[in-house]
Amino acid sequence: MKICNTCASAVSEPSHFLNLVESLGAIVWEADPETFQFLFVSAHAEAILGYPVRQWIDEPDFWRRHTHPDDVQWCTEFCMDAVRNGQDHQFEYRMIAADGRVVWLRDVVTVECSANGETQMRGFMTDITDRKTSEEALRAREQQLQLAFEVASIGVAEHDMPAIARRSPTTWFASLVSSPAPLTRRTNGC
């Protein structure tokens, strides 16, 4: 019973609830489901992207204008489709911060349809830039390793092995190292 009383008091005290929201380290938001204009944005929005909260709310197309140009179309279509179908959804995309940085966000969106037909859209955005940077560095290392493997396999030589095999081990090794026989490169079908 004490837990329920604590929850009730947290909700009844706006300052406590606001402190709870602000302590999350995420951008908590509510937006119009048709226009995507923000109706509420938590103060952490300024810490993550550098734009004042008032700008988020006052600019009708803030979200679209500050979403990365390569992501804005698919993000808009994805969100509109999910809202139209009354589906909660989450996705990852980039926004452009006030200082020009590209910031990766994970957006978790809840779509609520009331009995009177009104739709509400709420969610929270978390900064996943560090994770995306690490993933990209890992992909780059994997590509370097793959390239190194491919380059190393190009240098494998093909010799006249039956003739070399008839020699003694000492002359066999010497012939591999200093063989005047032409080397042939193996390719992967190229």
Give yes or no for a contact between 4 and 12, defined as CB atoms under 8 angstroms apart: no
**pLDDT, averaged across the chain:** 80
What percentage of residues in the chain have a pLDDT greater than 90?
53
21-31 pLDDT per residue, tens = 565 679 999 99
Whether the predicted pLDDT of 70 surpasses 60: yes
Whether the predicted pLDDT of 17 surpasses 80: no
The tokens describing 141, both together, are 């290392």
Domains of the chain: 2-134 (3.30.450.20), 156-190 (no CATH)
The whole model's pTM is what?
0.67
* 98 secondary structure, DSSP code: T
Q: Residue 183 has what pLDDT?
A: 43
Q: Residue 182 has what pLDDT?
A: 45
Residues paired with 184 in a beta bridge: none
* 106 secondary structure, DSSP code: E
